[in-house]
Amino acid sequence: MAILAVNAGSSSLKFSLHPLLGGQVQPHVLSGNIQGLEPGGSPEMGWQYRGAKHHRALAAHEGASVFAVALDSLRELIQGLDGAPAIDAVAHRVVHGGGEFTASVCVTEEVLSRLARFNSLAPLHQPHNLEGIRRFRTAMPQVPQIACFDTAFHAAMPEVDYAFALPRELRAQGVRRYGFHGLSYQYIMSVLQEKTLRGRGRVVMAHLGNGASLCAAQDGTSVATTMGFSALDGLMMGTRSGSLDAGVLLYLLEQGWTHAQIERLLYKQSGLLGVSGISADMRRLREEAAEGSADAQCAIAQFTHRVVRETGALTACLGGLDLLAFSGGIGENDVLLRQQVCERLAWTGLHIDAQRNRAADGKQAWAIHAPDSRIEIWVVPTDEGRVAAREAAALLESTQALQQACAP
Residues designated as active site: 150
What are all long-range contacts of 302-307, with beta carbons under 8 Å and residues at least 24 apart? 302/236, 302/275, 303/212, 303/235, 303/236, 303/272, 303/337, 304/337, 304/340, 304/341, 304/344, 306/235, 306/236, 306/242, 307/206, 307/208, 307/212, 307/214, 307/235, 307/337, 307/341
Closest CA to 369 of 352, 347, 346: 352
Of the CA atoms within 13 Å of residue 33, those in its CB half-sphere come to 6
Closest CA to 311 of 248, 377, 246: 377
Strand-pairing partners, residue 87, are 2
How far is CA 289 from each of CA 130, 286, 292, 381, rounded to the nearest angstrom?
39, 5, 5, 26
Of the CA atoms within 13 Å of residue 323, those in its CB half-sphere come to 27
Residues 349 and 316 sit within 8 Å (Cβ to Cβ): no
Q: Where are the alpha helices (DSSP H) in 319-360?
A: 328-333, 335-344, 354-359
Helices (H) and strands (E) in the chain, counts: 15, 15
CA angle 375–378–384, rounded 5-degree value: 135
Counting every residue, how long is the chain? 408
83/81 Cα distance (integer angstroms): 6
Closest CA to 182 of 146, 225, 145, 147: 225
Distance of CA 320 to the CA centre of its chain: 26
Strand-pairing partners, residue 378, are 325, 367
